[in-house]
Structures are given as structure tokens and as C-alpha cells.
Chain A
Amino acid sequence: MQELIATLQNGQTFFASLPPAILTLIFMALGAVLFATVMALNALVAVYAERKISAWMQDRLGPMEVGPQGILQTLADAVKLLLKEDIVPAAADKKLHMFAPFLVFAAPCAAFAALPYTREFVFANFDIGVFYVASITSLSVIAILLAGWASNNKWALLGGMRAAAQIVSYEIPAGLAMIVIVMQAGSLNFNAISLEQNGGIFHWFILRYFPFNLIAFIIFYIATLAECNRTPFDLPEAESELVGGFHTEYSGFKWSIFMLAEYAEMLVVALVGAALFLGGWSSPFGSFMNGGAWGVFWFAGKAVFIIFTHMWLRWTLPRLRVDQLMHLSWKVLTPFSFACILGVGLWMLI
């Protein structure tokens, strides 16, 4: 982003007259507005897509009333949620009750800045990009615990604690799977990792060092699915067991913020998976349709494909019990990811 500011300052006179600090602030504000818009649009499209895809898989039609083929259904839902009465339990802590949904929303929003959208332009070219994304998504644990506690409700607290335990347990295999890729790319910088995979589908990390990278991708996929609290790991929000889990006592606008945050987290996780394993902004055809704005198209396309598989899994697999969940994380995924690191490390040395 520094180069963009430098070129702008050398160019037009209006931008040259502002000090670079103000220009940086303007770009940061524009970036934040852009991310918020992208997240809102993503939630709009993703909710509609989820309902339609689940409907087609269950041999029914899904929303058809509002707008042609039900396209405006999510908009109508959003308006309804905004107009609903905001109920806060009398014995709940009002400030924490208000604060928790926005903290859950802030965590994936902050992770968007480090992702490589195109080769030339990255919002924040961290040299610790991967590590930063891993550490900032651990903020959502605290927010979910807070939401469960602030509701002053046994089931909400139980749901919040289960969600916190689940996310913390699955961060470990996800981080270890990321390390497998970082070892091969030699850098934590997302743009460098994407650059390493440039040049067609056979350069993508998922097809190299077979089968270790494939196993690492599967481990990463499962672990991040659990971090988003998606089925088959959605015990914290299970309707049949915990009423609503940690968002039982949230109504109207705040509940919609929770849903927005869940879809934003899904998008972040899909983008990170696409950047690390599926080649980031590089096209699968080599240099055909590569570079520039095509980068955003390919990156978003891969992320959308991963989100489609998330939704596909939701209506295919049953929910895991909490002890099966913990068993899967600690006794299956973590040892396998250690084995992958060992395998790739030995392979790289030989």
C-alpha cells in the first residue's frame, strides 16, 4: 500500500498536498468500509445460497416468494431482524451483553486485511501474515465465552464453554497444518506463499509432496470447519440440545450480528485455505487469465467453492457429540498433523 500512496502523491496535485499520514488514514478508512461491505454482501449471498442449496439437496425448492426465485429473501430477513424488539434478560449484564456480538464480529473482520487479493496490491503486507490470522481468530473464543456468560442463562453458559473448548482444541491441528505449508514456502507472508504457487495447477501446494499436503489440507479443512461452529461441529448452537447455545438470549439485531460473524468467519477460513493450499490468486491454467484483476476472481472463486463444500457437508453429516469432537481433535487430527510435519520435513531434507 505504501507504493500506491507514493504514486498517488507524485501524480495528482490534490493528493500531493495532503501529508502522507492523512492519506494513509483515508486509505485505512476506505479499506475498513470496503471490508464491512464485502462481509455484509457475503452474508446476504451466503444465507440465500445456503437455503437454496440445502433445499435442492433435500428435493425441495427453498425460498421462492420474495423477488424472482427468492433472491430478495435475505434482504427481507435482515429488515425483519432490524425491526424486532431487542430483549435483554433482566438479570443479565447489559454492557457485556451488548459488547459480545460486536467482538465476535471484529475478529474475522481484522483477519481480512492480511489476505493476498492480487499480486500487486495487498492491504497490509505483513511478514507474519499467517501467524497474524491464526492469532486474531482466537479473539472470537473470548467473545463467545462472554456472550454465554452475559446472558445469565445456564444453557447459554454451557454452550459458550463448549464452543470455547471446541475452538481452542481445533486451533492446534489448524495451526500445525498451516506450518506444513509455511515450511515449504519458507515464509509467513501470504503474498510470498501465493507467489510460490504461481504457474498453473501443478504448482499448487495441495498437489505437491503427495500425500502429505493433501492430508494437511484435509486436516486444515476439518479443523477450520470446527472453528466456525459449523455442522458437523455445531454443538454449541445445537437447537435440539442447548436451546440456542450461546446466542439463546440474543434477539433481533444482535442475533443477526452473530450470524454475520459466523458467515464472515467461514469466508475468512475459506480464503486462508485457498491462499495456503489452492494457490491464492494464481490461475490454474498457468499464465492464461493470470495477474491483475484476474487474481481477485480466482481467489474469490476458490473461496466460494470451499464455502459450497461447507454447506454441502452441513446437510450430509450428522452432528458430533462433544466427547467425539474432543476425541477427533486431540487423538486423531493432532497426531496426523504432527506426522505430516515430520514427513514433509524429512522429504524436504532428502
Chain B
Amino acid sequence: MTGFDIMFYVIAALTLFSAAVMVFSKNIIYNAMGLLAAFFGVAGIYVMLGADFLAATQLLIYVGGILVLLLFGVMLSQRFSGTEMRTGTLQVVPAILVCAGIAAILLRMIWQTPWQKVEIGAPAPTTKTIGTLFMTDYLLPFEIVSVLLLAALVGAAFIGRRDAR
């Protein structure tokens, strides 16, 4: 049991516990807090996999952007005083059976597949490589994603405007 293994189990337990809180809690804000901890856990997993730039990106965009957006969405879509902060759940038992079935299929596939091993070295800092790749091999996806973000920005601002009729 090296330090790497212990860290992985700790981070994985944190992520799974917070994802469970997110799914099974009835209070919306507790769902959002569970999601926050799950995002942190996933950022930790990225660090363990040697993707340092991606871990910081995950924190910046998911925690600092999407989660704030979700919280604003929750707070702006509640009627006040006496509002139901609880979210209902429908047909929980069939859903759990279906998801358990899908999980069983996925886990069996993961265990049975003979993954071919490649010689992996120590994790290296990835920022310079990612920057170079963005400007050489992945230039077209980069430009397309910029246009996509612009379209999403304009579209979201238009759809969410106050005088929607």
C-alpha cells in the first residue's frame, strides 16, 4: 500500500460519498454542496493522474463557474417563505435497479478487458505541451470551441432575459 494508493482511496471515497449525498438528499442546496465536493474529488483524481493543468481548469470552470451558475439557478427559481426546498423523487426503486444493472455491466466489462500496458513514466508538467498542442494539432477544434462559447454566451443571455413572452 503505497502513499499513492492511500491517496487514491481517500479521494475516491470522498468523491463517491459526496456524489451519493448529491443524489439521495432531498434538499436542493445539499445537492449543490455534494456536487461541489464531488468536483473537488474529481480535481484530486486528475492530479493523481498527472493532469495538473486540467485539475486547475476543473476547479476554475466547474467550481467557480458552473456551480455558481447552478446555485444562482436554484436561488432564482424558488418561491419564497414556505417554499418547498425539498425535491421529490419518482419511482426510486426501478431507477435504482436499472442503474445497478448498468453499473454491473460496466464493471464486468472493465474487469474482463485485457488492457494493454504502455510504459508510463513519472507525471510531467503538462502546461507547455497543452499550449503547443492547442496551437498546432488542435487549432481547428480550438477555434470552433471559441465560436461555440460565443454562441452559448449570446444564446443564454437572450433566452434568460427578463421580459420573456
Contact = CB atoms under 8 A, between A and B. Distances in A.
Interface of A: 21, 24, 93, 96, 99, 126-128, 131-132, 134-136, 138-139, 141-142, 145-146, 149-150, 154, 157, 161, 164, 168, 171, 188
Given A141-B68, A161-B75, A188-B127, A128 B52 contact: yes
Contact of B68 (A99, A131, A168): A168
Contacts of A128: 52-53, 56, 125, 127
A164 B56 CA distance: 20
A126 to B, nearest CB: 7
Contact of A171 (B3, B59, B64): B64
Interface in B116-138: 125, 127
Nearest to B85: A93
Interface string B36-73: 10000000000000001100110110011101100110
A164 B72 contact: yes
26 contacts: A21-B3, A24-B3, A93-B29, A126-B52, A128-B53, A128-B56, A131-B60, A132-B56, A134-B60, A135-B56, A135-B57, A135-B60, A135-B64, A136-B59, A138-B60, A138-B64, A139-B63, A142-B63, A142-B68, A142-B71, A145-B72, A157-B75, A164-B68, A164-B72, A168-B68, A188-B127
Interface string B1-32: 00100000000000000000000000101000
Nearest to A132: B56
B65 to A, nearest CB: 8
Nearest to B6: A21
A248 to B, nearest CB: 16
B59 A161 contact: no
Nearest to A139: B63
A131 B53 contact: yes
A2 B63 CA distance: 30
B60 A127 contact: no
Interface residues of B, number: 22
Contacts of B63: 135, 138-139, 142
Nearest to A160: B75
B127 A141 contact: no
Contacts of A131: 53, 56-57, 60, 127
Given A135-B59, A142-B36, A146-B29, A161 B64 contact: no
Contacts of A135: 56-57, 59-60, 63-64
B71 A127 contact: no
Contacts of B60: 131, 134-135, 138
Which interface residue of B33, B64, B72 has the most chain A CB atoms within 10 A? B64
A234 to B, nearest CB: 20
B105 to A, nearest CB: 36
B56 A145 contact: no
A138 B56 CA distance: 11
B48 to A, nearest CB: 15
A93 B64 CA distance: 23
Contacts of A146: 29, 33, 71
A181 B33 CA distance: 35
B35 to A, nearest CB: 10
The 8 tightest CB contacts between A and B, nearest first, are A138-B64, A135-B60, A127-B125, A135-B59, A131-B56, A21-B3, A135-B56, A145-B71
A142 B67 contact: yes
